[in-house]
Amino acid sequence: MVLAQLGGSISRALQQMSNATIIDEKVLSECLNEISRALLQADVQFKMVRDMQANIKRIVNLDDLAAGHNKRRIIQQAIFNELCKMLDPGKPSFIPKKGKTSVIMFVGLQGSGKTTTCTKYAYYHQKKGWKPALVCADTFRAGAFDQLKQNATKAKIPFYGSYTESDPVKIAIEGVERFKKENCDLIIVDTSGRHKQEAALFEEMRQVSEATKPNLVIFVMDSSIGQAAFDQAQAFKQSVAVGAVIVTKMDGHAKGGGALSAVAATKSPVIFIGTGEHIDEFEVFDVKPFVSRLLG
Enumerate binding residues for ligand GDP (CB under 6 A). Answer: 108, 110-116, 193, 248-249, 251-252, 274-277
Question: Which of 226/252 has CB closer to ligand GDP?
Answer: 252
CB of 277 to ligand GDP, least distance (A): 4
Amino acid letter, 96:
P
Question: Which of 35/118 has CB closer to ligand GDP?
Answer: 118
CB of 124 to ligand GDP, least distance (A): 13
CA-wise closest residue to 192 among 105, 93, 120:
105
Question: Which of 108/214 has CB closer to ligand GDP?
Answer: 108
CB of 40 to ligand GDP, least distance (A): 24
CB of 82 to ligand GDP, least distance (A): 27
CB of 225 to ligand GDP, least distance (A): 12
Question: Which of 4/54 has CB closer to ligand GDP?
Answer: 4
Question: Which of 113/214 has CB closer to ligand GDP?
Answer: 113
Distances, alpha carbon 89 to alpha carbons 32, 128, 244, 268, in Å: 23, 27, 10, 6
CB of 163 to ligand GDP, least distance (A): 17
- C-alpha–C-alpha distance, residues 92 and 118, integer Å: 20
In this structure, the dihedral spanned by the alpha carbons of residues 268, 233, 78 and 31, taken in order and rounded to 10 degrees, is 170
Residues, the chain, total? 296
Question: Which of 8/252 has CB closer to ligand GDP?
Answer: 252
Burial 162-181 (b: 16+ CB within 10 A, else e): beeeeebbebbbbbbeebee
Q: Where are the beta strands (DSSP E) in the chain?
A: 102-107, 132-137, 159-160, 186-191, 216-222, 242-248, 270-274, 282-284
Comparing every residue's Cβ against ligand GDP, the nearest one is 274
Residues whose CB falls within 8 Å of the CB of residue 273, separated by 6 or more in sequence, listed in order: 223, 246, 247, 248, 250, 259, 282, 283, 285
Question: Which of 106/230 has CB closer to ligand GDP?
Answer: 106
Amino acid letter, 196:
K
CB of 48 to ligand GDP, least distance (A): 24
Distances, alpha carbon 113 to alpha carbons 172, 277, 294, in Å: 19, 9, 24
